[in-house]
Structure 1
Amino acid sequence: MSESIILTDAGLLPEDLLPDVSHLVTEDDEPLDNLPSEKQQRLLTETLYSSWNGPSNAQGFLVAANVGLFPSNKQPPIVPDVFLSLDVQVADNWWERRHRSYFFWDFGKPPEVVIEIVSNREGNETGRKILEYARMRVMYYIIFDPTRQLGGEVLQMYELRGRQYIPMSEQWLTEVELGLCLWEGAYEGKRDVWLRWCDTTGNVIPTGAERAEQERLRAEQECLRAEQEREAKETALQRAERLAAQLRALGVEPEV
């Protein structure tokens, strides 16, 4: 079992007790991923920063892709495709080595959600990783397997109960106030089945581009409504003028 850093009641260690991270590899400068996974990761991260304010009781959040999670300074990290952590703030001096990755003793807690995007059978998502995330006390573990490499469902969602993950019967993450759903459509010109964040009614959280398009359509609709109201007023005025003319022709002065 992995050795964890002991935190104080406040969650964060005092400055003089922070562990040494000089020997840890926080980046290897050799990223290697495929085009579908990269775009899917970006969809999951960009959406929240563009259109989500976080849960009602949270003070900020961090969503990131391909960033190492370090529960201890005595072992290598595990690197999920995407993770979401609530009530955390990235340090202002984030270029300092001790702030570059997600060190549990720095943020004071594990992320609430980790997502793995499966593109082959080498990731061990249902073996080593599910055990590691459970040891880290990550609340929700999500596996998105669009090509069914693992032989199961495309979307597998787990919630931590005690020390192990239990399959979820619904796609709503109660503690995060977000859901996850499969959405068929086009993202950045590529049509596919995507994993999307969604709200309580099942509506997807829009990307920045989708949100801008929604606002444009709402503005056009408002302009159309205003134009229809103006035309209706003009039509009513013209009709009133015709009726007044007919009354005058009959020798009756219309009421103003």
Structure 2
Amino acid sequence: MSEILTTEMAPSPDISHIITEDNTPVDNFGSEKQQRLLTRVLYSSWTGPDDSQKFLVAANVGVFTAIAQPPIVPDVFLSLDVGVAENWWEKKNRSYFVWEFGKPPEVVIEIVSNREGNELGSKLRDYERMRVSYYVVFDPIQQLGGPVLQIYQLQGTRYLPMTDTWLEQVGLGLTLWRGVFEDKEDVWLRWCDKDGNLIPTGTERAELAESQLRQTESQLQETESLLEQERRRSELLTERLRALGIDPEQLNG
């Protein structure tokens, strides 16, 4: 006689003592804008690696890996196949508790503005232990003395530097782009597709649509002008034939 085994879900740990927000200002204007660019773009113009996959991208939200450990707060993180809970004000849903989401984020991005973050030291090792697939360090003013953009991929238990900027496991790439975002020209870190095409912001999408509309209107006006010129040439030819005593309708017949 076969025995039916039942497994009860383990209750969520008690997190009543955990501080999920400390209300401490932590960023400068440049970092704040860069964070917003990286998060807003995906929600406005990306539908996941298979065009229907859920995802969560956030800035300055704590990631908790264990009850007894303080959170790590990436400047930006991206996690696939998860979403914000419906009751997101409930304490267990206010931060990224790995045991609630069932997995760590796939990508974390740190934006360097000083040398205090230890992005290539203790912070890198923290994300290794967290098992984050890709660790990105964007150093726009080269505080660390190395390249502006460094990307690491988890291989086994250690991060190895990547020479490519395509993040295969998430279906996104990263690129440096000089341009204007929110009236500020600078070199920005941007998401892109495999061919290096930027994932556009909502504003860029609207501008592209407006440009395409203007181009279509211009093409229609040009077509109408050509048709009008053709109509005028036909009228002139008809007038000349009649002046010569030739009936244009008989020629058409």
Q: Under a length normalisation based on structure 2, what TM-score does the superposition of the two structures give?
A: 0.93
Amino acid at match of 1:34: N
Equivalent pairs counted in the alignment come to 244
Unaligned residue ranges in structure 2 (runs of 5+): 1-6
The CA deviation at 1:59 is 2.4
Please tell me whether the aligned partners of residues 59 and 87 of structure 1 are also in contact (alpha carbons under 8 angstroms).
yes
Matched residue of 1:122: which SS? Answer: coil
The corresponding residue for 1:200 is: 194
Matched, 1:171 2:168: no
Q: What are the ranges of 5 or more consecutive residues in structure 1 without an aligned counterpart? A: 1-12
Partners of 2:87 and 2:245 in 1: CA distance: 86
Asked whether the equivalents of residues 69 and 103 of structure 1 are also in contact (C-alpha less than 8 Å), the reply is yes
Query: Which string of whole-angstrom CA distances, capped at 9 and with x for unpartnered residues, describes residues 87-143 of structure 1?
Result: 102110000001000011111111110000000000010011111101111000000
Bigger-Rg structure (1/2): 2
Aligned to 2:229: 235
Q: 2:138 aligns with which of 133, 144, 165?
A: 144
Counterpart Cα distance in 1 of 2:51 and 2:234: 57
AA partner of residue 133 (structure 2): M
Matches within 5 A, 1:1-256: 16-56=10-50, 59-254=53-248, 255=252
* Structural RMSD (CA): 1.5
Q: Provide, for residues 44-81 of structure 1, a one-character-per-residue CA deviation record: whole Å limited to 9, x for no partner.
A: 00111111111117621111000011111121110000
Aligned residue in 2 for 1:10 = none
Q: Counterpart of 1:113 in structure 2: which amino acid?
A: V
The one-letter code of the counterpart of 1:222 is T
Shift of 1:19: 1.1
What amino acid is the match of 2:98? F
* Other structure's SS at 1:17 match: coil
* C-alpha separation in 1, matches of 2:181 and 2:83: 29
Identity score, percent: 59
CA contact (8 A) 2:57 2:76 kept: yes
1:236 maps to amino acid? E
CA deviation vs aligned residue, 1:188-212 (integer Å, no higher than 9, x gap): 1111111000112211111111111
Q: Which has the higher contact order (CA 8 A, sep 6+)?
A: 1
Task: Check the 8 A contact 1:58/1:87 in 2, yes or no.
Answer: no
1:183 & 1:22 partners in 2: Cα distance? 43
| Contact 1:116-1:125 at 8 Å conserved across structures | yes
**Whole-Å Cα distance in 1 between the matches of residues 141 and 73 of structure 2?**
21
Compare 68-77 and 158-167 and name the one that shifted more: 68-77
- Give the counterpart letter for 1:209 in structure 2: T
Structure 1 counterpart of 2:158, one-letter code: Q
Q: Which of structure 1's runs of 4+ aligned residues deviate more than 4 A?
A: 13-16
Which AA in structure 2 matches 1:130?
L
What's the TM-score once normalised by structure 1's chain length?
0.92
